[in-house]
Chain A
Amino acid sequence: MLPDKNSAQTAWKNCIPPVLVFLAALGAWQILMSQHVLPPSMFPTPRQVAKGFGEEMHSGRLYTDIIASLWRVVVGFTLSVLVALPAGIALGQSSLLRSAFMPALNFLRCLSPLAWIGFAILWFGVGDNSAIFLIFLSLVFPIALSVSTAVLSIPPLYYRVAKELGLSQWEKLNQVILPAIMPGLITTLRVAMGVGWLVVVAAEMTAGNSGLGFAIYDDRNALRQDLLVVHMIVIGIIGLLLDRMLAGIASMPSVQWGYQQTNL
């Protein structure tokens, strides 16, 4: 009983500071506008933004934009994990593969995904597939690198234990390698999802005809500052929610060891 009440209390307490910060920012914004520190030609007022929000909700365009962007980022992210995870594990286990592929991987990792836009449009046209391709390219190399580093840093002790217990290659992968890199992998995936969300907006602005990035592009052309702010807020909130979802995996009991200061 008591711990429950306490944890509810701390959860409540943890909510207060960010809410206060939010309200203060909103107040500051309103004051800056009403004191004409920010001229109305430069930035919309909170009221205008609220009105723009209602407009977007009413027309239903906001939903379709959100769905379009989410679909692209989720597919691009999933594809890159499906490729990068096995590739990273293979790289982490073989010094031959590392010496063969690491220079190319690092080269590709350093290329801004937006540099590929010309080819993306040429190969996939304007729309979903271009954006997915760009997200895939921007995520697959850093995830592969991060996974290979994580595999490399698994203590050899665990491989000895696996050998002694007679684990097969498959069991070793499932019961030793994957769980050993899991805590780090979760962090990698959170960072990757954040990058993917940045890239989808950029990709839609240049190679899209829908989605939140395209909406921003549209707002700019239509000189609708109020909608610009609406879409910026929505992009930020969804990015936050995506991160929270992935961070939720970190509360699984079998990865807790990776986040604890053990009493070693």
Chain B
Amino acid sequence: MKPDTTTMLRLENVSRSYSGRQVLQNISFSVNAGEFVAVVGPSGCGKTTLLRLLGGHETHDTGTLERCAHTRTIYQQGGLLPWKTALENVAMGLLHIEKSNGKRITLANEMLGSVGMDGYQESYPHQLSGGMRQRVELARALVSGSEILLMDEPFSALDFLTRLKMRSELIRLLKDKEQTVIFVTHDVEEAAQLATRIILLTRRPAAIACEITLPEMERPRSLSHPVVIDTAEKMLNVLGMHV
């Protein structure tokens, strides 16, 4: 490990069970500042559970977990507060970070603009499409400048074209920022397009099947790039789905 990298998250032999049924089994990995780590695993293996542990919303049974900064989560089911407008939701992201209410509104407005949601400030979540809600939630997570972003299948409910678009926008928004991202997905191509490193989980109880470090290059990598195709195929092989 290079001396100039800071560890943001470190897990050592972390396990978690629900009423006697093991979900996470001896998970160990660490994440450095600025990394974009994709966590990929079959449905129901324990990915959301892992993120809940990383975010400090639940405790693990055994092992050690260190978190060196605040986290912000983008939730699989959508975490916007339905009784607040898009602008209010994003401004909530700055509560206790920015003291002045006026400043919070200004910053939230700017952030909404940069995720392409100008003109929807006063809309409530139920008045927005799924993709728009994801943009607002992304804005709320990013506006705080939190060092660690935990994203739980943020784009999986979107149609294919919107998903592709959101991938490049996410990378654009993260550019020039030192934010660390843990990105859960079940989509091997998505992981290969976005991540600097991929952690593959086995079926429940989830253990780490393998880690793949991807070559540094302009992201999102194109779907047809050989690195993406090779990596995706490799992941499918490990997951036991030969194509």
B6: shortest Cβ distance to chain A, in Å?
22
**B72 and A257 contacting across the interface, CB-CB below 8 Å:** no
User: Does B223 belong to the interface (CB within 8 Å)?
Assistant: no
**B129 and A263 contacting across the interface, CB-CB below 8 Å:** yes
**A180 and B83 contacting across the interface, CB-CB below 8 Å:** yes
**B92 and A179 contacting across the interface, CB-CB below 8 Å:** no
In the complex, which of the residues B77, B81, B93, B124 contacts A176, with contact meaning CB atoms closer than 8 Å? B81
How far is A250 from B31 in the complex, measured between Cα atoms in Å?
Answer: 47
**B79 and A256 contacting across the interface, CB-CB below 8 Å:** no
How far is A263 from B129 in the complex, measured between Cα atoms in Å?
Answer: 8
**A160 and B55 contacting across the interface, CB-CB below 8 Å:** yes
Complex interface: stretch among A74-82, A162-170, A203-211: A162-170
Mostly, the B contact residues are: loop
Point out the residues of chain A lying under 8 angstroms from B71, CB to CB: 164
In the complex, which of the residues A179, A255, A263 contacts B81, with contact meaning CB atoms closer than 8 Å? A179
How far is A253 from B123 in the complex, measured between Cα atoms in Å?
Answer: 10
In the complex, which of the residues A164, A165, A256 contacts B126, with contact meaning CB atoms closer than 8 Å? A256
Point out the residues of chain B lying under 8 angstroms from A179, CB to CB: 81, 83-84
Q: Do A165 and B57 contact each other (CB < 8 Å), given the known contacts A260-B126, A262-B126?
A: no
A162: shortest Cβ distance to chain B, in Å?
9
**A182 and B83 contacting across the interface, CB-CB below 8 Å:** yes
Point out the residues of chain B lying under 8 angstroms from A263, CB to CB: 126, 129-130
B163: shortest Cβ distance to chain A, in Å?
17
**B95 and A255 contacting across the interface, CB-CB below 8 Å:** no
Point out the residues of chain B lying under 8 angstroms from A221, CB to CB: none
Q: Which residue of B lies closest to A171 (CB)?
A: B95
B138: shortest Cβ distance to chain A, in Å?
14
The 0/1 profile, CB within 8 Å of A marked 1, for residues 52-76 of chain B is 1001110000000000000111010
Which positions 144-185 of chain A face chain B at CB distance < 8 Å? 157-158, 160-161, 163-167, 171, 175-176, 179-180, 182
**A164 and B83 contacting across the interface, CB-CB below 8 Å:** no
Which positions 123-147 of chain A face chain B at CB distance < 8 Å? none
User: Does B165 belong to the interface (CB within 8 Å)?
Assistant: no
How many chain B residues touch A (Cβ–Cβ < 8 Å)? Answer: 24
**A255 and B83 contacting across the interface, CB-CB below 8 Å:** yes
Q: Which residue of A lies closest to B96 (CB)?
A: A166
Point out the residues of chain B lying under 8 angstroms from A166, CB to CB: 95-96
**A164 and B72 contacting across the interface, CB-CB below 8 Å:** yes
How many chain A residues touch B (Cβ–Cβ < 8 Å)? Answer: 25
Which positions 59-106 of chain A face chain B at CB distance < 8 Å? none
Point out the residues of chain B lying under 8 angstroms from A14, CB to CB: none
**B81 and A158 contacting across the interface, CB-CB below 8 Å:** yes
User: Does B125 belong to the interface (CB within 8 Å)?
Assistant: yes
Most buried by B among A255, A256, A262: A262
**A167 and B57 contacting across the interface, CB-CB below 8 Å:** no
How far is A160 from B130 in the complex, measured between Cα atoms in Å?
Answer: 21
User: Does A6 belong to the interface (CB within 8 Å)?
Assistant: no
**A164 and B55 contacting across the interface, CB-CB below 8 Å:** yes
Q: Do A163 and B125 contact each other (CB < 8 Å), given the known contacts A179-B81, A254-B84?
A: no
A176: shortest Cβ distance to chain B, in Å?
7
Point out the residues of chain A lying under 8 angstroms from B95, CB to CB: 165-167, 171
A113: shortest Cβ distance to chain B, in Å?
34
How far is A260 from B83 in the complex, measured between Cα atoms in Å?
Answer: 12
In the complex, which of the residues B52, B79, B125 contacts A161, with contact meaning CB atoms closer than 8 Å? B79
A167: shortest Cβ distance to chain B, in Å?
7
**A157 and B96 contacting across the interface, CB-CB below 8 Å:** no
Residues of B within 8 A of A (CB): 52, 55-57, 71-73, 75, 77-79, 81-84, 92-93, 95-96, 124-126, 129-130
Residues of A within 8 A of B (CB): 157-158, 160-161, 163-167, 171, 175-176, 179-180, 182, 253-258, 260, 262-264
**Can you pick out 12 interface pairs between chain A and chain B where the beta carbons lie within 8 Å of each other?**
A160-B57, A164-B73, A165-B95, A171-B95, A175-B81, A176-B81, A255-B83, A256-B124, A257-B82, A258-B82, A262-B82, A263-B130
The 7 closest A-B pairs by CB, nearest first: A257-B82, A179-B83, A166-B96, A262-B126, A257-B126, A254-B83, A160-B57
